[in-house]
């Protein structure tokens, strides 16, 4: 023990005199695994979104061993070596998605950091199409919900009008959602529109009853100008391709108030069209209920998205039934084609990716009350019943769910094609599934 203690004491003295050079060499020996220290968090985000012409800078990194102590640094972009410096600035010359990889190697051992950079192109050419196939995302939808090969246009319900001087863009801005949608859309030649609405009631996309936030905010020219200025600034800053006026917050106890809101859509659309950058798309999602009579001319719209689903005839004691039937789809489309006289090639017809779920029934097996039913996304229906895609009713959820499955959607898409309509939109695409049971996939296959 005395010899061992003496040896350790002597070693400490020698280390102190020699600044432990031998000890450092022992710590960084041939088996030492190199390290990359990212104290500034430049690799913290798995993906960075920038515009073409902007840069992504990776700096403030430290390494062990240090490069001067024989570690090797290598930066690659999509597998091609671009630098051996300790920092790197990536300035893309074209839109696309790039992988930036940093490697620190020492004696054959390697540490790696990886970053994805999504670059929105400065210009793009929309891909050609025969019919519009638009994926309309709810406020919770993201770019991950889109199969870009299947769509011609994308819209997201990302702007809520609170008052003439206030618009809530928080859902669109969350995690750079709108920036990713625009970047991926433009890389794939797909225009991206901002859906503007008031408060919606939920899954079905109808307006919250008696909500007048949007409707009454556009009833005079001064207020319209304020809202349009806010929307224009957002469209330009985010490189969006236009706006859909999702005017579905129309139901009100007062018919006069409802009519006043509907009357305001046409002037709002016209003034918005004139204010946005040249070439911007302006569309309107229009109702098919009794208020359709109150719309003024919407001829300046690039097209109209017709809410050809959810007829809203669910009352206490009403029989369980399909609310988005094929017959209602045709009748609702004819309101705008025949009754209001718009050409078919100006109309994009809506197809629901959700169903009505009955939660309680009365003694006769009918709907119990106004509060005894709700709405369920198609993806949740499919998750609960594997056979659901080939049907339009399932009894496996609550007291039963009616929805649009593949056969019904196929009939609707074929009707659109055979009768010269401009196309279809899915509400909402984030309720859909991927693969062979996708409603959008079926619509795209037929309309393309």
Coil vs helix vs strand at 51: strand
CA–CA distances in Å: residue 268 to residues 119, 242, 297: 33, 14, 11
Beta partners for residue 424, in sequence order: 133, 349
Percent of the chain whose predicted confidence (pLDDT) is above 90 = 83
Alpha-carbon distance of 36 to 424, in angstroms, equals: 51
Coil vs helix vs strand at 117: strand
Report the pLDDT value the prediction gives residue 27, as an integer from 0 to 100.
Answer: 53
CA dihedral 86, 89, 92, 95 (to 10 degrees): 90
In the predicted model, what is the mean pLDDT of residues 200-208?
A: 84
SS (H, E, C) 222-242: HHHHHHHHHHHHHHHHHCCCE
Instruction: Give φ, ψ of 419 to 5 degrees.
Output: -110, 15
Domain ranges of the chain: 30-120, 132-447
Please name the fold of domain 30-120: Immunoglobulin-like (2.60.40)
* CA 197 from centre of chain: 16
Residue 404 C-beta-side C-alpha neighbours within 13 Å: 32
Q: pLDDT tens, 258-302?
A: 999 999 999 999 999 999 999 999 999 999 988 899 999 999 999
Instruction: Please tell me the least confidently modeled range out of 102-116, 216-230, 251-265, 367-381.
Output: 251-265
Coil vs helix vs strand at 364: coil
In the predicted model, what is the mean pLDDT of residues 148-158?
A: 98
* Token pair for 239: 């490189």
Please name the fold of domain 132-447: TIM Barrel (3.20.20)
Report the pLDDT value the prediction gives residue 16, as an integer from 0 to 100.
Answer: 40
């Amino acid at each position: 023990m005395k010899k061992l203690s003496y040896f350790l004491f002597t070693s400490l003295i020698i280390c102190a005199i020699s600044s432990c050079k031998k000890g450092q060499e022992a710590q960084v020996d041939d088996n030492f695994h190199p390290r990359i220290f990212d104290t500034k968090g430049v690799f913290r985000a798995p993906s960075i979104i920038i515009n073409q012409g902007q840069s992504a800078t990776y700096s403030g990194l430290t390494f062990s061993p240090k490069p001067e102590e024989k570690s090797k640094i290598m930066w690659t972009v999509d597998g091609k070596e671009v630098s051996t410096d300790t920092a790197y600035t990536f300035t893309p010359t074209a839109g696309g998605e790039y992988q930036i990889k940093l490697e620190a190697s020492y004696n054959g051992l390697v540490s790696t950091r990886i970053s994805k950079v999504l670059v929105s192109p400065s210009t793009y050419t929309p891909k050609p199409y025969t019919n519009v196939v638009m994926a309309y995302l709810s406020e919770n939808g993201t770019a991950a919900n889109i199969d870009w090969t299947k769509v011609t246009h994308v819209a997201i319900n990302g702007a809520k009008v609170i008052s003439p001087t206030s618009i809530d863009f928080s859902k669109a801005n969350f995690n750079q959602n709108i920036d990713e949608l625009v970047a991926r859309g433009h890389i794939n030649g797909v225009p991206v529109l901002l859906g503007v609405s008031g408060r919606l009631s939920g899954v079905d996309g109808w307006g919250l009853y008696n909500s007048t936030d949007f409707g009454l905010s556009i009833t005079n020219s001064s207020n319209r100008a304020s809202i349009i200025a806010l929307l224009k600034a957002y469209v330009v800053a985010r490189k969006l391709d236009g706006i859909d006026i999702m005017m579905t917050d129309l139901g009100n106890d007062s018919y006069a108030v409802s009519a006043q809101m509907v009357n305001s859509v046409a002037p709002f659309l016209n003034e918005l069209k004139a204010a946005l950058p040249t070439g911007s798309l302006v569309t309107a999602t229009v109702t098919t209920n009794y208020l359709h009579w109150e719309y003024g001319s919407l001829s300046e719209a690039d097209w109209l998205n017709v809410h050809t689903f959810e007829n809203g005839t669910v009352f206490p004691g009403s029989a369980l039934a399909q609310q988005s039937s094929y017959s209602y789809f045709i009748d609702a489309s004819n309101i705008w084609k025949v009754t209001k006289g718009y050409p078919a090639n100006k109309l994009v017809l809506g197809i629901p990716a959700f169903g009505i779920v009955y939660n309680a029934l009365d003694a006769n097996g009918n709907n119990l009350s106004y509060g005894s039913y709700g709405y369920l996304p198609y993806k949740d229906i499919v998750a609960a019943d594997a056979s659901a895609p080939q049907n339009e009713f399932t009894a496996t959820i609550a007291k039963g769910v009616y929805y649009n499955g593949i056969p019904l959607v196929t009939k609707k898409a074929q009707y659109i094609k055979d009768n010269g309509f401009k196309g279809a939109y899915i509400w909402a695409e984030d309720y859909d599934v991927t693969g062979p049971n996708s409603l959008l996939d079926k619509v795209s296959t037929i309309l393309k």
